[in-house]
């Protein structure tokens, strides 16, 4: 039972870490991430101020992360906000730059998962440390 509890804690910690990493990833996209130039997306600035809560949910699903609506409310924009992209155009843009954005997503998710796993090590990992 103790092993099962530890595994569930680890699983939940990793899942939570993925969600928190996605929130940070979305914030970075919405504030205009300059690192995208290093990955080959020269016009990454076009994503600035393009993410609202609905689009954030679509982007998170695209990257395989389920985020509750309550956590995405921070991306809400005023009703009169003017977008350069429609939601479909934004998702097409993300699809066109899939490889670069997947690499960028990995910059966020890998450290978060590593920290979560270190918090709840498996018995094998504990034995290897000895």
Q: For residue 1, what pLDDT is reported?
A: 52
40: domain range? 2-122
Cβ 58 vs Cβ 91: under 8 Å: yes
Counted domains in the chain: 1
User: Who contacts 76 (Cβ-Cβ below 8 Å, separation ≥6)?
Assistant: 52, 53
Flag whether 9 is in a domain.
yes
Flag whether 91 is in a domain.
yes
Flag whether 80 is in a domain.
yes
The Cα 126–Cα 97 span in angstroms is 40
Cα-Cα-Cα-Cα dihedral sign, residues 114, 119, 120, 122: positive
Flag whether 88 is in a domain.
yes
Q: DSSP per residue over 34-79, as a string?
A: GGGGGGT-TTGGGGTT---HHHHHHHHHHTT----HHHHGGG---T
> Residue 41 burial (CB < 10 Å; 0-12/13-18/19+)?
buried
Flag whether 129 is in a domain.
no
Q: For residue 127, what pLDDT is reported?
A: 81
Cβ 50 vs Cβ 70: under 8 Å: no
pTM (2 d.p.): 0.91
Flag whether 127 is in a domain.
no
pLDDT in tens, the chain (130 residues): 588 888 899 999 999 999 999 999 999 999 987 788 888 888 888 999 999 999 999 999 999 999 999 999 999 999 999 999 999 999 999 999 999 999 999 999 999 999 999 998 888 887 887 6
Q: For residue 129, what pLDDT is reported?
A: 75
Report residue 45: phi and psi, to 5°.
-60, -20
């Amino acid at each position: 039972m103790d092993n099962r509890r530890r595994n569930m804690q680890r699983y939940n910690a990793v899942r939570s870490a993925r969600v928190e990493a996605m929130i940070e990833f979305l914030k970075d996209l919405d504030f205009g991430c300059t690192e995208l130039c290093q990955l080959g997306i020269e016009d990454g600035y076009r994503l600035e101020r393009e993410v609202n809560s609905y689009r954030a949910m679509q982007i998170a699903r695209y990257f395989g992360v389920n985020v509750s609506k309550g956590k995405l409310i921070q991306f809400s924009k005023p009703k009169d906000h003017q977008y350069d992209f429609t939601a479909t155009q934004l998702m097409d843009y993300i699809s066109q730059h899939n490889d670069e954005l997947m690499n960028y997503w990995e910059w966020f998710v890998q450290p978060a998962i590593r920290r979560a796993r270190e918090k709840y090590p498996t018995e094998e990992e504990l034995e290897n440390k000895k």
